């Protein structure tokens, strides 16, 4: 799991990312001292920024900025089982805690999904209504989302890959309204417009079978994530 939270960054840190992103030298092989030279800061500053943003190390950070993703896996009879095991072994409870804190800050919650991911969002909404007293809706209708989103709203967009539906038009309309927008992805797709989101959560660092159509892909890891999320919420309520 990787949880990327842009809201934790100050203006200097945002300018460092912008400088590296705009450099013609950017690639997954860019050395940390080279990134420091581009941004005119120390290597320790780059290292600290990588971890503050949510990455394990600089190598993971620069591969993300350069949009370098792992190669899609080829079809295997037990690929999904391997992905689930990997998800459980690399599960990060801190990402759950951060998500819970974010949800607690907002009175309105909009859960968005398309195709089978909408069904996953509806399940999450059903369980969430049992533990929090907030205004919670699930929708895939752009007009509804645009009408309801404001500075008191957290919007959570669920997607396996982030490729099924182009949400750029919707995000353009929501920009500047305040609020908080989170993208939760199963697959490690680094080609999304990460600056459009307050947070991006990658549940895995892998891909499902590349031959599967979007609606054929599994949502198993979503549901395991949901159960861990609500287990943590119940633990917090008991404290």
Instruction: Locate the domains of the chain by residue range.
Output: 2-65, 79-238
The CB density around residue 35, as the number of other CB atoms within 10 Å, is 26
User: Checking DSSP bridges between strand 2-5 and strand 108-112, what pairing results, if any?
Assistant: unpaired
Domain 2-65, CATH among 3.30.70, 1.10.10, 1.10.3470, 3.40.50: 1.10.10
- In the chain, the percentage of residues whose pLDDT exceeds 70 is 95
DSSP 212: S
pLDDT digits (tens, 9 = 90+) for 199-218: 999 999 888 888 888 889 99
pTM (two decimals): 0.83
Q: pLDDT band at 69, cuts 50/70/90?
A: low
Class of domain 79-238: alpha beta
Integer Cα distance of 119 and 148 in angstroms? 20
Q: How many angstroms separate the CA atoms of 67 and 196, rounded? A: 15
| pLDDT interval class at 75 (50, 70, 90) | low
């Amino acid at each position: 799991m990787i949880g990327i939270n842009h809201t934790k960054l100050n203006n200097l840190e945002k300018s460092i990312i912008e400088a590296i992103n705009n450099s013609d030298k950017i690639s997954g092989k860019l050395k940390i001292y080279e990134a420091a030279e581009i941004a005119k800061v120390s290597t320790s500053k780059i290292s600290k920024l990588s971890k503050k943003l949510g990455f394990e190390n600089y190598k993971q950070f620069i591969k993300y900025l350069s949009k370098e993703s792992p190669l899609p896996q080829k079809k295997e009879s037990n690929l999904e089982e391997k992905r689930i095991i990997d998800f459980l072994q690399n599960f990060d409870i801190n990402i759950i805690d951060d998500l819970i804190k974010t949800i607690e800050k907002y009175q309105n919650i909009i859960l968005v999904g398309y195709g089978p991911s909408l069904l996953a969002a509806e399940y999450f909404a059903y369980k969430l209504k049992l533990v929090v007293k907030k205004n919670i809706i699930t929708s895939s209708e752009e007009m509804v989302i645009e009408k309801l989103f404001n500075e008191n709203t957290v919007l959570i967009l669920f997607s396996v890959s982030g490729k099924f539906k182009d949400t750029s038009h919707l995000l353009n309309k929501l920009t500047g309204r305040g609020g908080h927008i989170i993208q939760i992805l199963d697959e490690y797709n680094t080609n999304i417009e990460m600056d459009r989101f307050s947070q991006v959560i990658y549940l895995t660092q892998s891909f499902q079978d590349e031959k599967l159509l979007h609606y054929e892909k599994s949502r198993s890891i979503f549901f395991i994530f949901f159960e861990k999320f609500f287990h943590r919420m119940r633990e917090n309520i008991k404290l």
